[in-house]
């Protein structure tokens, strides 16, 4: 019995205390959070822009002939967005990450920037489809009411459509960010010392698998729980107009 | 009758949806202070006609002159003209994520550049008139259908329009709520507001309308003052229609 506790204490010490390994875990967590936050920002901005292009195309041009220059530009932009979404959703994120790091950033090897960019670009494609579904779900009468007051298309989107769409898609968006947090765990492929990489490193140094891996799993779980909690709070706040 | 008394002049308006011809050459004139009531069976094109007046539907051909401007001209900024044409929908279409007060003031503040307090004061005054002053801070989902439609009318009025378009404003309401909405519309007409109303409410048409238009299969079949129109319909199609609805 005594041996059992001794061996647990021993692996705990090796995992966290020796060589200040808890600091390595902490800095890995920092890398994971840094990548996630900046990738999420890129994903949101890109996703909304693409969604607006795609839904504007669907709402205004679908099945119609182009008449103005702006129609042609919109048509081309829509086609580009489609290609982008198809490619991003059709290939594994870890391949995209390696392409970014080993090809695009081949000369500079800026791992963190490559990771932020590839996860951001990846997330953007998914966010775009989520936001587009939100915009298309808003009743046509809302567009018409806003236009009949005299708002142009841009302001109709801004004041009437996007706020309602955002409320509808919040659960799906939250889900996307939860996925994003966990997807960053492949950052080790491009030599980044993120949480997963550090955990695995400690495992290989100490020949202790239990503590490093379970700890890493728990930390991800806590991040996701925290994120879910914040999203639920935001959802509740936005729902104040439903009665 | 001088021409500047004409607010809206519709010339040979045609509208097709794909292969389907919905409007086949409509000519009409709406003068200041007129209450034009458009009636007809469903699918006759009466709603499409109304929706063409502020270009929610883009006409396939024909002209719509509004205050002397052909608004079907592509170079015209339709948003400026829509500010002068209030519209009320069958499904109310209030903005559900805004309070009633915000629904009423967002247009005046953002488009007419009114100050917040000015817009709110004006909105509250109009709310008072339709008996909903106490609902300013409620959300649309907290209101009954009749209340929503009265708010929708006020929202259009807040923009201080020159004409009000009504697209079957009472068709989605429970019967006991129709009266309160028609009452507001009667009040408006009595104050001299120019109105174009698509409706199935024949009582309203007879009492308030100054010019009744019967649309069938995309053309105006018969038109006249209410007395002549209802007591002495000339075309067989109108006679048939009236015998079914009256």
Interface predicted TM-score of the whole assembly (ipTM), two decimals:
0.92
- Report strand pairing: B194-198 vs B163-167: parallel
- A149 to chain B: which residues are within 8 Å by CB? 82-83, 106-107, 111, 155-156, 159
User: Nearest Cα to B126, choosing from B168, B169, B187, B174?
Assistant: B187
pLDDT-derived band of residue B90, with 50, 70 and 90 as boundaries?
Answer: very high
Lowest mean pLDDT among A1-10, B28-37, B82-91, B176-185: A1-10
Nearest CB to A141; choose among B91, B110, B155: B91
Q: Is pLDDT at B2 greater than 80 in this prediction?
A: no
What one-character-per-residue DSSP string does A178-209 give? HHHHHHGGGGGGGT---HHHHHHHHHHHHS--
Q: Which CA distances in Å does B151 have to A146, A219, B111, B137, B207?
A: 15, 51, 19, 12, 23
Contact B87, B159 (CB under 8 A): no
Nearest CB to A145; choose among B83, B93, B110: B93
What is the pLDDT at residue B25? 94
Interchain contact A242–B (C-beta under 8 A): yes
- B98 to chain A: which residues are within 8 Å by CB? 241
Q: Is pLDDT at A2 greater than 90 in this prediction?
A: no
Interchain contact A150–B (C-beta under 8 A): yes
User: Nearest Cα to B154, choosing from B112, B124, B193?
Assistant: B124
Q: Which CA distances in Å does B42 have to B47, B212, B214?
A: 9, 17, 12
A60-70 pLDDT per residue, tens: 877 677 778 88
- A147 to chain B: which residues are within 8 Å by CB? 56, 79, 82
- Rounded distance, CA B58 to CA B51, Å? 9
Lowest mean pLDDT among A54-63, A68-77, B89-98: A54-63
pTM: 0.86
Conformation bin of residue B25: beta by default, left when phi > 0, alpha when psi is -120 to 50:
left
- A146 to chain B: which residues are within 8 Å by CB? 95
- Percentage of the residues of chain A whose pLDDT score is greater than 90: 73
Q: Which of A137, A149, A243 to mutate to test the interface with B (most CBs of B within 10 A)?
A: A149
What one-character-per-residue DSSP string does A206-236 give? HS--HHHHHHHHHHHHHHHHHHHHHHHHHHH
What is the pLDDT at residue B1? 45
Q: Which CA distances in Å does A214 have to A20, A33, A94, B72, B171?
A: 18, 19, 23, 68, 63
* CA-derived radius of gyration, chain A: 23
A39-67 pLDDT per residue, tens: 999 999 999 999 999 999 988 877 677 77
Find, in chain A, the residue whose alpha carbon is nearest to that of B102: A159
A159-209 pLDDT per residue, tens: 999 999 999 999 999 999 999 999 999 999 999 999 999 999 989 988 888
Q: Which of B47, B51, B91, B93 to mutate to test the interface with A (most CBs of A within 10 A)?
A: B93
Nearest CB to B82; choose among A149, A163, A242: A149
Which helix (DSSP H) or strand (DSSP E) does residue B164 occupy? Answer: strand B163-167
Q: Is pLDDT at B124 greater than 90 in this prediction?
A: yes
- Report strand pairing: B20-31 vs B85-88: unpaired
* Contact between A144 and B83 using a beta-carbon 8 Å cutoff: no
């Amino acid at each position: 019995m005594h041996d059992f506790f001794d061996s647990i204490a021993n692996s705990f010490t090796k995992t966290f205390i020796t060589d200040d390994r808890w600091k390595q875990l902490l800095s890995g967590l920092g890398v994971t959070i840094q990548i996630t936050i900046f990738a999420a920002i890129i994903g949101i901005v890109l996703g909304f822009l693409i969604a607006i292009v795609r839904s504007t195309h669907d709402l205004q041009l679908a099945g119609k002939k182009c008449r103005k220059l702006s129609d042609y530009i919109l048509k081309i932009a829509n086609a580009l967005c489609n290609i982008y979404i198809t490619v991003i959703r059709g290939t594994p994120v870890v391949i995209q990450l390696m392409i970014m790091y080993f090809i695009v950033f081949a000369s500079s090897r800026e791992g963190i920037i490559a990771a932020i960019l590839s996860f951001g670009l990846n997330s953007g494609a998914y966010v775009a489809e989520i936001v587009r579904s939100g915009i298309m779900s808003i009743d046509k009468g809302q567009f018409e009411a806003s236009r009949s007051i005299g708002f142009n298309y841009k302001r109709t989107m801004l004041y009437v459509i996007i706020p309602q769409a955002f409320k509808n898609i919040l659960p799906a968006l939250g889900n996307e960010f939860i996925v994003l947090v966990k997807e960053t765990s492949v950052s080790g492929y491009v030599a980044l010392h993120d949480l997963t990489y550090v955990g695995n490193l400690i495992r290989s140094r100490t020949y202790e698998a239990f503590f490093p891996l379970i700890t890493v799993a728990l930390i991800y779980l806590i991040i996701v729980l925290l994120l879910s909690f914040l999203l639920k709070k935001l959802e509740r706040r936005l729902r104040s107009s439903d009665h | 009758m001088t021409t500047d008394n004409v607010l809206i002049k519709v010339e040979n308006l045609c509208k097709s949806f794909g292969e389907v011809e919905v409007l086949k050459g409509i000519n009409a004139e709406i003068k200041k202070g007129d209450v034009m009531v458009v009636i007809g069976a469903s699918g006759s094109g009466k709603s499409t006609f109304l929706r063409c007046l502020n270009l929610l539907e883009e006409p396939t051909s024909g002209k719509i002159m509004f205050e002397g401007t052909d608004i079907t001209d592509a170079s015209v900024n339709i948003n400026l003209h829509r500010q002068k044409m209030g519209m009320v929908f069958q499904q109310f279409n209030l903005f559900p994520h805004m309070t009633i007060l915000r629904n009423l003031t967002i247009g005046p503040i953002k488009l007419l550049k009114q100050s917040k307090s000015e817009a709110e004061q004006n909105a509250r005054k109009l709310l008072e008139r339709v008996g909903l002053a106490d609902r300013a801070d409620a959300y649309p989902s907290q209101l009954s259908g009749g209340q929503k439609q009265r708010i929708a009318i006020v929202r259009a009025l807040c923009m201080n329009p020159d004409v009000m378009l009504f697209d079957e404003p009472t068709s989605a309401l429970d019967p006991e709520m129709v009266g309160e909405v028609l009452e507001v519309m009667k009040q408006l007409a009595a104050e001299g507001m120019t109105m174009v109303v698509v409706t199935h409410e024949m009582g309203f048409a007879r009492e308030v309308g100054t010019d009744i238009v019967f649309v069938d299969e995309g053309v105006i079949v018969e038109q006249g003052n209410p007395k002549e129109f209802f007591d002495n319909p000339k075309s067989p199609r109108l006679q048939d229609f009236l015998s079914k609805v009256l």
